[in-house]
């Protein structure tokens, strides 16, 4: 698994959220808070599962709480992706 950039994570999140909500991607602002989006808890859980599959690692249950916007979460995911990649590299060395 390659390292995911913040821009890639943000684009992925916007695409998936827009698809789930049935709206154009242009309607999902990176600075918009997740609780302002009309995602119900089931959709949020599905999205989190898809995100974990895409990234290749699990997210903590409080991740969205501490990173409440698409932009904040994307930046966190990029950092975590790099950290996970470093961990895998160190484990294989």
Q: Per-residue DSSP letters for 19-50?
A: HHHTS-GGG--TTSBGGGS---HHHHHHHHHH
CATH of 6-84, one of 1.10.1200.10, 3.40.190.10, 3.40.50.970, 3.40.50.720: 1.10.1200.10
pLDDT, residue 45, reads: 84
pLDDT, residue 93, reads: 56
Average pLDDT over residues 64-91: 88
Nearest to 76 by CA among 1, 8, 6: 6
> Partners of 83 in the beta sheet?
none
Report residue 92's pLDDT band, with 50, 70 and 90 as the boundaries: low
Report residue 72's pLDDT band, with 50, 70 and 90 as the boundaries: very high
Average pLDDT over residues 49-60: 92
């Amino acid at each position: 698994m390659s390292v995911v950039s913040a821009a890639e994570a943000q684009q992925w999140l916007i695409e998936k959220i827009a698809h789930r909500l049935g709206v154009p991607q242009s309607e999902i602002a990176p600075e918009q808070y997740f609780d302002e989006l009309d995602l119900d808890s089931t959709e949020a859980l599905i999205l989190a599962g898809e995100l974990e599959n895409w990234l290749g690692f699990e997210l903590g249950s409080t991740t969205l709480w501490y990173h409440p916007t698409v932009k904040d979460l994307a930046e966190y995911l990029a950092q975590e992706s790099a950290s996970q990649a470093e961990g895998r590299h160190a484990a294989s060395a």
